[in-house]
Every structure is written in structure tokens, then in C-alpha cells.
Amino acid sequence: MAQPVLLVEDSRAVRSFVSSILESAGTYDVHEVDNGFEALRALPRTDYALIVTDVNMPDVNGIELTRFVRGQEKFADTPVLVISTDAAHPDTQRAMDAGATAFLAKPFTAQEFLDAVVKATGGA
């Protein structure tokens, strides 16, 4: 059965790239949103199996979103995969500190992304 995934990313093209990777993998049902507020709105409605979020977004950033997700009982153990442009950037570390499961630096290939997803979801 397809697992629901929340994808939070403000770039349309990156969103559709990531989404198509997940969907072609066949086992994911991707819900795309383009900002943190939309993510907040989506979270209570679905028990997502995975959350993929960009770090650098206006208003509610990916770090704040991660912390929020971790504060929710039903998402306490949900894998959060953070995509960022730079592994060395302090913001990437902050996202990990806030409770992200893994991060992946852009640019990445479809395979790299899938590998990261598998790793984040514990090899499911």
C-alpha cells in the first residue's frame, strides 16, 4: 500500500522532480505543499510516513517545522528528511539538532534521493 509522504518545498520544479522520483518508486503517495503554513495545515489530517522538507523557506523555515513535528505526539517518530543546499551550512546542523532524521544536500540524483529515503525510513 502506498505510504503518504509530505513534501514541503517552495521551488515548483524541485517539488515536481522529488515528487516524480517518489511516485515512480511506486510505494509513495506524495502530498506537495510550497510553504510552511501549508505544511502546518496538512499535518493534522494525515499520518504521514515520511516528511521531506526544504530548510530555507520564508516565514516558517524547515528547522522550525522539524521542531514542530517533533513536538506532535503522532509524528514523534516519523522520519523527517531535510533537503538543503549545503551540508556544511549551520542551518543544516540546526535542522538535525531540531530532530531531523537525515539530510540530503542538493543537487542530488534520483538514486541518491531514494537511498536517503530508504535510510531515513529505516530501510522500509
Partner 1 sequence: MSEPPKPSAEFLSEAQEVIEAFSRNLLQLDAQQRAGDYDPDLLNAAFRAIHSLKGLAGLFGAGQISSLAHSLESTLDSLRLGRLPLSQQALDVLFEAVEVFQNMLAAFGAEDAEPVSPEALLARITALSPDDGAANGAGDLDGLDPASLGVLTEYEEHRLRENVRMGRKLYRVHAAFDLLAIDVGIESLKSKMKEFGEVITYLPSADSGAEDRIELDILLGSEFAVGEIAAGVAEDGVSVYPLDPKPARESTGPQPAASRPPVAPVPAPEPDPVDLVEAGPEISLRSISQTVRVDLERLDILMNLVGELALVQANLSGTLEAVRGLGGAADVSRELQTHLRTMERKLSLLQQGILDVRMVPLGQVFDKLARVVRKLGREAGKEIRLNITGAETELDKLIVEELSDPLMHMIRNCIDHGIETQGERADSGKNATGRIDLRAFQKGNRVIIEVEDDGRGMDWRAIRDKAVSRGIVGDLESREMSKQEVIDLIFVPGFSTRDTATEVSGRGVGMDVVKTNIARLSGLIDVDTVPGRGSKFSITLPVTLAIIQALVIETARQTFCVPLNSVLESIMVSQADIETVEGHEVVSLRGKTLPILHLSEIFGLRASTRYLDPARIYIVIVGLAQHRVGIVVDELLGQQDVVIKPLGRALRGVPGIAGATELGGGRTVLLLDVSVLVEEALSRGDGGPHDSVPEVAHA
**Residue 32 binding partner 1, by CB under 8 A:** no
# of chain residues touching partner 1 (CB under 8 A) = 38
CB 39 within 8 A of CB 65: yes
Residue 55 near residue 15 (C-beta atoms within 8 A): no
Q: Is residue 77 classed exposed, middle or buried when 0-12, 13-18 and 19+ CB atoms within 10 A define those classes?
A: exposed
Sheet order of strands, 80-84 included: 28-33, 3-8, 50-54, 80-84, 102-105
116 lies in the binding site for partner 1 (CB under 8 A): no
> Which residues, at least 6 apart from 23, have a Cβ–Cβ distance to it below 8 Å?
30
Among 91, 102, 114, 119, the residue binding partner 1 under the rule CB under 8 A is 91
- Find the binder of partner 1 among 71, 76, 87, 115 (CB under 8 A): 71
108 binds partner 1 (CB under 8 A): yes
Which of 7, 52, 98, 120 contacts partner 1 by CB under 8 A?
Answer: 98
The grid cell for 95 is: 535542522
**Between residues 72 and 124, which has the closer beta carbon with respect to partner 1?**
72
Single residue of 3, 14, 49, 102 touching partner 1 by CB under 8 A: 14
Find the length of the chain.
Answer: 124
Enter the C-alpha cell of residue 89: 551550512
Residue ranges in contact with partner 1 by CB under 8 A: 10-14, 16-17, 20, 36-38, 40-41, 44, 55-56, 58-61, 63-68, 71-72, 85, 89-91, 94, 97-98, 106-108
